């Protein structure tokens, strides 16, 4: 699964993308965020405040309870700040 | 019918808006909105990051929603990304229709959606460093009114 990061989430994690084999036990966006936060101190810092995190599954905004099993690309970023 | 584009280059505003009515006699109104970078609080530069695959999809969906809602004859949405400086144009929304009401409404609808749903993030640079811009609740409320059965 491709995981993409944007804006300050990208800066805190230290990379714009990772290709990860996500365990089958990770069912939802919330599970995925918990799993990612345990990967490094940078991940933990970037994902600490869940109210400041937005997620898109295959380029569509998704909620925390959305299933992730069939996703090809999951993007994680702050709320958008527009044009 | 509404063309959408994200580019790092400056926007050719006169050419883009002029093309909407060139050689046509059915266009009665062209409404254009140009957003500029303001030098608020000593702003030195503004850098826009975006998510290209999602921007393309989101802009196409927003444009299709506007076309379904109002009788439009054409339009263009051009958004810049990368580093910009005060005074530069950051976004152009231009809409053509037979009458002005639809063109004004569609242009405002597109701008409200760009502010809240398009995957862009801004970094401001001032004398004291660089800061990511936080999302504004007032922008969300401006977009919400289009759902409120108007």
The domain locations on chain B are: 2-133
Chain-chain contact of B115 with A4 (C-beta, under 8 angstroms): no
Inform me whether the pLDDT recorded for B149 exceeds 60.
no
pLDDT of residue B14: 97
Q: Under CATH, which number does the domain B2-133 receive?
A: 3.90.1170.40
Kindly indicate the confidence band of residue B146, based on its pLDDT and cuts at 50, 70 and 90: low
| CA of A80 vs chain B CAs: smallest distance (Å) | 6
CA dist B136 and B131 (Å) reads: 15
Between B53, B57, B114, which is nearest A83 by CB? B114
Chain-chain contact of B121 with A81 (C-beta, under 8 angstroms): yes
Q: Under CATH, which number does the domain A2-77 receive?
A: 3.10.20.30
| CA of B84 vs chain A CAs: smallest distance (Å) | 12
Are B101 and B32 contacting, i.e. CB atoms less than 8 angstroms apart?
no
The reply to whether the predicted model has a pTM over 0.90 is no
Q: How many CA atoms lie within 13 A of A51 on its CB side?
A: 2
Stretch B91-118: mean pLDDT: 94
């Amino acid at each position: 699964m491709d995981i993409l990061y944007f804006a300050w989430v990208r800066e805190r994690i230290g990379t714009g993308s990772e290709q990860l084999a996500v365990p089958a036990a990770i069912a939802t966006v919330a599970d995925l965020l918990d799993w990612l936060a345990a990967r490094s101190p940078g991940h933990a810092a970037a994902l600490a405040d869940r109210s400041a995190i937005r997620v898109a599954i295959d380029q569509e905004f998704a909620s925390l309870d959305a299933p992730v099993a069939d996703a090809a690309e999951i993007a994680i970023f702050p709320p958008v700040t527009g044009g | 019918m509404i063309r959408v584009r994200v580019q790092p280059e400056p926007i050719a505003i006169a050419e883009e808006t002029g093309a909407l009515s060139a050689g046509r006699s059915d266009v009665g109104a062209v409404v254009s909105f140009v957003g500029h970078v303001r030098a608020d609080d000593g702003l030195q530069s503004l850098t826009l990051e975006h998510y290209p695959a999602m921007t393309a999809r989101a802009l196409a969906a927003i444009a299709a929603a506007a076309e379904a809602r109002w009788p439009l004859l054409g339009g263009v949405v051009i958004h810049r990304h990368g580093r910009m400086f005060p005074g530069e144009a950051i976004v152009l929304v231009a809409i053509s229709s037979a009458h002005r009401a639809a063109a004004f409404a569609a242009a405002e609808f597109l701008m409200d959606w760009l502010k809240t749903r398009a995957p862009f993030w801004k970094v401001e640079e001032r004398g004291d460093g660089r800061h990511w811009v936080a999302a504004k609740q007032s922008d969300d409320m401006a977009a919400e009114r289009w759902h409120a059965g108007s």
